[in-house]
Amino acid sequence: MIDQNGPRNPRGKLARLAREVRACTVCAAHLPLGPRPVLRVDEAVRVLITGHAPGTKVHATGLPWNDPSGERLRRWLDVDRETFYDLDRFGVMAMGLCYPGRGRGGDLPPRPECAPLWHARVRAQLPSLRLTLLVGRHAQLHYLDTRHETLGDTVRRWRDFAGSGYFPLPHPSPRNTRWLRERPWFEQDVVPGLRRAVAAALAQSG
């Protein structure tokens, strides 16, 4: 059974903060389906996945990456489903914690209130965190300040961020299949580097 809630210490600071996050209604007026913040963290998390924002399926179930995008991401990471949802290893905190709604070209950007309000506070309670996967441009702009380059440029120079604890990635959505096909260097160079970085992070002691 996948633990969708975490953290597992109900009296700890992180657990209290997680309850505060999940009760957040700051953006309620802007959310077409209402607030449902999705956060999967525990003090033991080694790798944190920070992407865009939940989609409608995640909003309905509370379980992130439970779709074809998640399957591709797990293939990139070379981990199985059980490992991926193990809070001793992987956590998930998107740039926007609630489904932001849909625009003309797809889902809207993550609400701008989320990351400044919650990210630093949550990350401060993750003592075992070793690596953050920045999935997509929104996460990379926030953490790496890469506004003067394309997503492809940022991902291609993933080695430059090795000492920072961040690893930039494109979104694994099926919609990006053409982008990936046109950039064979991603599978040839970035994916092996990603697997080494994740394995190293999971191997480190807390």
Residue 3: is its pLDDT beyond 80? Answer: no
Residue 161: is its pLDDT beyond 60? Answer: yes
- Structural domain includes residue 4: no
- Structural domain includes residue 6: no
**How would residue 1 be classed by pLDDT, with cut points 50, 70 and 90?**
very low
DSSP line for the chain: ----S--S-TTSHHHHHHHHHHT--TTGGG-TT------B--TT--EEEE-S---HHHHHHS-TT-SHHHHHHHHHHT--HHHHT-TTTEEE--SSSS---EETTEEPPPPTTHIIIIIHHHHTT-TT--EEEEESHHHHHHHH--TTS-HHHHHHTGGGGGGGTEEEE----GGGHHHHHT-THIIIIIHHHHHHHHHHHHHS--
* Segments forming the whole domain that contains residue 130: 13-203
pLDDT at 187: 97
pLDDT higher at 206 or 128 = 128
List, for residues 56-109, the tens digit of each pLDDT value.
999 999 999 999 999 999 999 999 999 999 999 999 999 999 999 998 878 899
Residue 5: is its pLDDT beyond 70? Answer: no
Mean predicted lDDT score pLDDT of the chain: 94
The model's pTM:
0.94
- Structural domain includes residue 8: no
- Structural domain includes residue 127: yes
List, for residues 107-122, the tens digit of each pLDDT value.
899 999 999 999 999 9
Spatial neighbors of 58 by CB under 8 A, at least 6 apart, are: 38, 64, 65, 66, 99
- Structural domain includes residue 43: yes
pLDDT at 145: 83
Give bridge partners of residue 48 from the DSSP assignment. Answer: 91, 132
Out of 6-15, 42-51, 125-134, 152-161, least confident range: 6-15
CATH number at residue 105: 3.40.470.10
- Structural domain includes residue 90: yes
Q: How many domains does the chain have?
A: 1
**How would residue 4 be classed by pLDDT, with cut points 50, 70 and 90?**
low
List, for residues 182-198, the tens digit of each pLDDT value.
999 999 999 999 999 99
- Structural domain includes residue 197: yes
Tell me the mean pLDDT in the region 19-42: 96
Q: How far apart are CA 122 and CA 42, in angstroms?
A: 10
- Structural domain includes residue 2: no
pLDDT at 205: 64
